[in-house]
Amino acid sequence: MRAVDRPALPTGFQVIHANKLEDLRAVTVELIRTFPLDPLENDVFLVHSNGIAQWLKLALARDEDDPTLPGNGIAAAMQFLLPSRFLWQVYRTVLGEDAVPEQSPFDKDRMTWRLMRLIPELVTQPGYEPLARFLSGGQEARRRYQLAERVADLFDQYQVYRADWLESWADGQDVLHVRGSEERAVPAEQLWQPALWRALIADIEGSGANTSRAEVHTRFLEAAAKLDGDSRPAHLPRRVVVFGLSSLPQQTLDVLSALGRCCQVILCVHNPCQYHWADIIEDKDLLRAERQRRARKPGMPVQLDDHNLHLHANPLLAAWGKQGRDYIRLLDHYDVPESYDHWLDRVDLFRESDGRSLLQDLQNDILNLNPVHESERQATEADRADRSLVFHAAHSPLREVEILHDQLLAAFSADPTLQPQDIIVMVPDINAYTPHVEAVFGQLDPEDDRYIPYTISDQGQRHQSPVVAALEALMSLPESRLAVSDVLDLLDVPLLRDRFGLTEDDLPQLHDWIRGANIRWGLDDRHRASLELPPDLFRNTWLFGLRRMLLGYATGEGEPWQAIEPYDEVGGLESRLAGQLDAFVRQLQQYWEWLSESRAPAEWVAVLHQLLRDFFGEPEGEDVLLFSQLEAALDQWFDACEQAGLDDSLPLHVVRDVLLERLDQGGLSQRFLAGKVNFATLLPMRAIPFRRVCLLGMNDGDYPRTQPPMDFDLMARDYRPGDRSRREDDRFLFLEAFLSARDQFYVSWVGRSIHDNSERPPSVLIAQLRDHIDRVRRPAEGDDPLTKTLTTLHPLQPFSTRYFPSPDEDSPLFTFAQEWRAALEGDQEESADAHVWPESLPETVFEQPLGLTELARFLRQPSAVFFQQRLGVYFERASQDSEDEEPIVLDGLGRWQLTDHLVQDVLQHESDPDQLTDKLRQAAHRAVGRGELALAEGLASLQVRQAIAPLPELYGRYRELLASAPQVESLRPVRISIERGDHHLVLEDWVRDLRFADDGRALQIVLSSSNITTPDRRYRWHQLLRPWIQHLAANAVAAPVTTHVLSQAGDVAFSPLDRIRAESALEDLMHAWLDALLSPFPVAPKTAFAWLSVEKKGEEGMLRAAQGAYEPQFKRSGEVDESPYLQRLYPDFDSLWATGRFAALTDRLYRPIWANVHNEADQLGGEDKA
């Protein structure tokens, strides 16, 4: 294209068509270079996305001598505007600022709040019965806002697309203008719409009634008809370039065409087809006009019969192009090429793609309007190496992103010229895919060879700003449960945390205190009552827990206060944290009260400004801009309410929704083209050409996106060319994306269910594309459709062995995640004995003395010693309890904890048996005061009775033993040391509460909070491990000692040992403990005792019993499920047994306990019976 030199800037409305956006960009740059404006004048560009704006700026900033695309050397003196904003500026410039206000009272935002004020009065009048019925369903304020917002949105669209209706309604005519000059009466059930429009006009005082967009537009056209090049208003731009817009309302085209009388208006149209194609789609009769810009394709009839469309139409263009067709055909009413072709030598810039790939052939077919039979005639066999169009089916959005990452790495490896900025990835909703993108692309360090720089556009503030997320949570206080996780999420926001003097390092300590004080949810009982719960439910609230903390800080383990037990863990220098947490919760409580009331707009603005100061303080860095946006959004909302005359009280949720929606609204400030792979939402006017265009989430039902019209939308019943439709927008957007791909068009969808692997269809647009490919292109070999070759079906997991085929296997599957290869190869190399550890690690020096507790833990989890003491690795089991829910039914751990508290209380009050029941009841009520039992008083009382019921009988047995040995020795030290090469290990601890009978017999009494027998009187051997260690220690210092273990269900007595045997047994366990530091012990106590209990059945029976205890069975978990260490080392019994050490370790660690109790068990008639 070459522009003819002119001495002056020519005026006129010029429309330039091209099928490639690069050509439109080139002609725009050349026109600006050829006809430069004066130094202080701005070129005005109308765009609909920041991507197009940046793309144009980069072109204009190119060097003037750039051989590929000469630019201006600098991108300056340019103004990029949204069309709607530009139009209102033009109205004010031409008609005068006094005649047109800066913001119209008929703008959607201001109409919303005016309707909020008017609707309550209007619905009482005849004709508004449908609105009255809608508002009668409860939550009147919320429903009124929803209604006002939807009606304002509809009236806003009427002003753009049905201005003739509004003009008639304003004149009192309740009619709808339909095709041509035909009129139809407004349906009876919708007569409230004309009445409401007239009420709006009447409510706007004075001349303001003439500032609806439709009225202003009419007056503008009258004034613009008198303009020419010599009478251009001073502030009108001399040149306006409209670029990258795939659709414009007729009103906007009216304005641009009128401006052409005195300005240069250049409209750059991305047209997929070089021929006239308005007749290939339905509703073509609405588009017939006397003048048409595009020539008909040779051989195409002037009148097309619907039954013969397929003979002359490209099916992809017909299926996806309705919106673009309407727009391009609408331009024919305004475009007069003869008025400007004397200075612009080419106005049509159509050209075929240079290559011959499948993608380019399909694009050329659309350009040339080739029907199927013509494409088939021109088609050749597909090249097996052609990957210009590919399809990938995955099991989830996360897998889609993982697959994309691998595919992009392969593309970069195959083509060194490909850069991250050459790739765009678009999805139906970027907010849904952002976590997956961050998890896959964001997990790699920039130094990693697999790192791909990326950027994410189009996110709402709520999805990317922690401060806005925190603000949303604070503005939801009246509706929030304020659970532990909710409050901790707030404290995770640095700006809020800093406001209350807390640091990130303080949070673990606060979390421990919150858990220990049994805080669950709710500020206090009043807050819970506001959520329709019974009154007086104070326990487990934030104020309950804070009182426990502060009471414990003041009194330690003191007496309860107002039935609240002190929490004595708060103290020392860290005690300040409790005060800061208290200040934060009190602030939450204050705002919960303030935000629970309805307020007038002016009051809300004051309260919310104060909320920002109280919770976030003075922002710094990036937060300064965010807070200026927040405060501006509040002020703009108040200004809209004030102009609408609304001073009614509004509930919080209305204000919150408005404020957050304003923050989420996009504009031309969204980042794009940042030199990285761009992730974005599929939006109109984003058809910038990229070498690779990738579409994810192309699932049936998700795309095209659906937006059902409102029931009272009268436009839905009367289609006009140019009307907007979400589904048609998405279809044309898909077409634009398809045409903007230069090297590859990549499509992905969730093609298999993650639950049952059933097949899931892609979007109907993908199905249409695939069907068309199979019709017009033949595969190189075989009878399968070509799309089968182009489609890759991926496994469910990224570590599937299918991603690592053998060298001679031809597979399309691959991955750059080599950590999976290492893991799989490791699994393949391992033999049946699970994890291959070194023969043994070197001896280690253990300087700290062992205690009896450590030895008991060793017997309970032998394999954990290696990880914890040698490797410093601690596997934490995920808690089954939710920190956000108060205790209702006590689980096994909860019952044990309550019983343990009560048992310990028995020990503390052993000298006062007459008061036992009262003492137990008092101890149980202290558990209530700690928030450990159910909130409901009746349920808590039941739990107390159930916990106390078996204890008097246990206490009676305990007292009998005490009476038999009245003398007590509180403490006696035990110390045993062993030598191990150059090292030695010491066991040091105390033996407590030894009892002595009058005849010198020694007793040790252990009260077990856990039952030591099952209901069928079998021993629960793992509950005897700690008492066994206590028994050995007692006999090592005071042999012979009999140890009695008492529990609610069953007792056991360990036979006395002589001192040498007891010391020897402890020394053996100490040596075993040291051996466990060298390599993991493949043994577990429940499994070991199951092995021993069926010793008479032979090895086969013993193996069967051990496996049944180790692995999960029907409705019963196995011992491996209880230990993450066993799961890591020996996931099944076969791997445990294959080590060859299980039987020997069972004999070494557990047979002594079995042997000690064995005689008594035999006498009771069963090897494992108590």
* HEC sequence for 50-114: HHHHHHHHHHHCCCCCCCCCCCCCCCCCEEEECHHHHHHHHHHHHHCCCCCCCCCCCCHHHHHHH
Task: Report d(CA 1143, CA 308) in Å as an integer.
Answer: 84
Helices marked H in 100-191: 108-122, 129-135, 140-161, 163-170
Contacts 24+ apart (CB under 8 A), 1164-1169: 1167/1093, 1167/1094, 1167/1095, 1167/1096, 1168/1018, 1168/1019, 1168/1089, 1168/1093, 1169/1017, 1169/1018, 1169/1019
Q: Residue 239 contacts by C-beta under 8 Å, 6 or more apart in sequence?
A: 9, 32, 35, 37, 43, 44, 263, 264, 265, 266
Question: Which domains are seen in the chain, by residue range?
Answer: 12-96+227-304+330-349 (3.40.50.10930), 108-210 (1.10.10.160), 386-460+675-709+735-801 (3.40.50.300), 462-664 (1.10.486.10), 862-868+880-1163 (no CATH)
The residue length of the chain stands at: 1170
Angle at alpha carbon of residue 785, lines to 782 and 789, rounded to 5°: 80
Angle at alpha carbon of residue 89, lines to 87 and 91, rounded to 5°: 70
Edge-to-edge strands, sheet with 791-793: 454-456, 677-681, 423-427, 690-695, 741-750, 389-394, 791-793
Pairing of the two strands 677-681 and 423-427: parallel
Task: Report d(CA 976, CA 357) in Å as an integer.
Answer: 83
**Contact between 745 and 389 (Cβ < 8 Å):** yes
Task: Report d(CA 241, CA 44) in Å as an integer.
Answer: 6
pLDDT at 420: 95
Angle between helices 892-908 and 951-964 (to 10 degrees): 40
CB-side exposure of 580: number of CA atoms within 13 Å? Answer: 20
Task: Report d(CA 515, CA 553) in Å as an integer.
Answer: 16
Query: In 3D, which of 929, 905, 927 has the Cα closest to residue 917?
Result: 905
Q: What is the DSSP letter of 1036?
A: H
Q: Residue 285 contacts by C-beta under 8 Å, 6 or more apart in sequence?
A: none
Helix and strand element counts for the chain (H, E): 45, 20
Task: Report d(CA 55, CA 766) in Å as an integer.
Answer: 28
Whether the ω angle into residue 704 lies within 30 degrees of 0, i.e. cis, is yes
pLDDT at 339: 66
Where is 975: in which H helix or E strand?
strand 967-980
Residue 157 bridge partners (DSSP): none
Q: Which tokens sit at 1097?
A: 């059945």
Burial of 99 (0-12, 13-18, 19+ CB in 10 A): middle
Averaged pLDDT in 10-residue chunks for the chain of 1170 residues:
57 90 89 85 89 85 80 85 92 90 88 94 92 85 91 92 90 86 89 94 73 87 88 90 89 93 91 82 46 54 50 83 86 77 71 88 92 73 84 97 97 95 94 94 92 88 84 94 94 94 93 91 92 87 92 80 84 88 96 94 95 91 86 91 90 91 67 79 78 96 84 85 82 93 96 94 96 86 84 93 84 87 60 46 72 94 91 70 67 64 63 66 74 69 73 80 87 91 87 89 87 83 94 94 89 93 95 92 95 91 94 86 91 93 95 84 44
Q: Which tokens sit at 54?
A: 């940046």
Residue 1013 bridge partners (DSSP): 1019
Q: Which tokens sit at 896?
A: 């044990």
**Contact between 663 and 468 (Cβ < 8 Å):** yes
Helices marked H in 909-998: 916-929, 937-948, 951-964
For the chain, the distance separating the N- and C-terminal CA atoms, rounded to the nearest angstrom, is: 100
Angle at alpha carbon of residue 577, lines to 574 and 581, rounded to 5°: 165
Where is 987: in which H helix or E strand?
strand 983-996
Answer left, alpha or beta for residue 522, where phi above 0 means left and psi between -120 and 50 means alpha: left
Q: What is the DSSP letter of 810?
A: -
Task: Report d(CA 1147, CA 920) in Å as an integer.
Answer: 42
**Contact between 458 and 666 (Cβ < 8 Å):** yes
pTM attached to this predicted model: 0.79
Write the CA distances from 112 to 151, 210, 521, 691, 1007, integer angstroms.
8, 18, 37, 44, 72
**Contact between 707 and 656 (Cβ < 8 Å):** no
What one-character-per-residue DSSP string does 855-885 give? HHHHHH-HHHHIIIIII---PPPPPSS-TTS
Task: Report d(CA 763, CA 1105) in Å as an integer.
Answer: 54
